[in-house]
């Protein structure tokens, strides 16, 4: 049985992990006969968004605690993530990837990846183990892998330009497809950067999961 680590960034598209993307990843891995464990940084969210009206809420929430909502409480602090215990890594999207795992949404010209997340992801890269990144999460790739790493966030040229400035080789991709960087063993898919419904997101995410497992 293949073992996959999943890094979450909270719970909710506007300030955490995109819920559909995370759950579809869980489902696809299970359907492919793989096991998974979830991890998240034990830090405060950048902010909390009221998902009814889109406004910032004056409260503080913890990324690890919020991520636990997605996996029925079965989540671990990312400092406990050991690459040697897994065959692959997958990072769902949602604004949490750009606000909590990194600060891409806040400072796209000079953004950085959270140190704990960076260390965990680089461990998989150094061990040449495959990884999957979806939605906006591929923004992390040029800060983890060498310049020229290949990936996609879909067809948003303006957003792609911000990431290519950091060293990503961006490839336009339809919602139901994936981009595979065979050299670095990375699979990316647009997911809700393009998806208009959950089925469209599912098609690309299922392909991503299958492709990541095939690279192990």
Catalytic residue IDs: 135
Distance separating alpha carbons of residues 99 and 107, to the nearest angstrom: 10
Answer for the pair 173, 155: CB distance below 8 angstroms, yes or no: yes
Answer for the pair 145, 129: CB distance below 8 angstroms, yes or no: no
Task: Name the percent of the chain in helix, strand, coil, to the closest 5.
Answer: 35, 20, 45
Locate the DSSP E strands across the chain. Answer: 3-7, 35-40, 48-49, 56-57, 75-77, 88-91, 131-134, 150-151, 169-170, 179-181, 186-189
Name every residue whose Cβ is closer than 8 Å to that of residue 22 and which is 6 or more positions away in sequence: 6, 8, 70, 71, 92, 94
Cα separations in angstroms, 140 against 56, 59, 112, 117, 200? 24, 27, 8, 10, 23
Distance separating alpha carbons of residues 83 and 81, to the nearest angstrom: 6
Distance separating alpha carbons of residues 7 and 17, to the nearest angstrom: 9
Cα 6 versus chain centre, distance? 8
């Amino acid at each position: 049985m293949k073992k996959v680590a999943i890094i979450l960034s909270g719970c909710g598209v506007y300030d955490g992990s995109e819920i559909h993307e995370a759950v579809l990843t869980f489902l696809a891995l299970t359907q492919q006969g793989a096991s998974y464990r979830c991890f998240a940084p034990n830090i405060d969210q950048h902010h909390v968004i009221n998902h009814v009206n889109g406004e910032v809420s004056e409260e503080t929430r913890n990324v690890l605690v919020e991520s636990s909502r997605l996996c029925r409480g079965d989540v671990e602090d990312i400092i406990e993530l050991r690459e040697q215990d897994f065959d692959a890594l997958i990072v769902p999207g949602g604004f949490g990837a750009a606000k909590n795992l990194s600060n891409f949404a806040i400072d796209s010209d000079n953004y950085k990846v959270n140190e704990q997340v960076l260390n965990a992801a680089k461990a998989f890269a150094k061990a040449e183990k495959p990884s999957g990144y979806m939605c906006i999460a591929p923004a992390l790739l040029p800060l983890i892998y060498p310049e020229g790493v290949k990936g996609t966030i879909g067809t948003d040229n303006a957003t792609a330009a911000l990431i290519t400035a950091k060293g990503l080789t961006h490839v336009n991709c339809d919602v139901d497809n994936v981009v595979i960087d065979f050299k670095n063993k990375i699979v990316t898919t647009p997911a809700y950067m393009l998806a208009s419904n959950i089925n469209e997101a599912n098609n690309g995410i299922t392909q991503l999961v299958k492709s990541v497992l095939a690279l192990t």
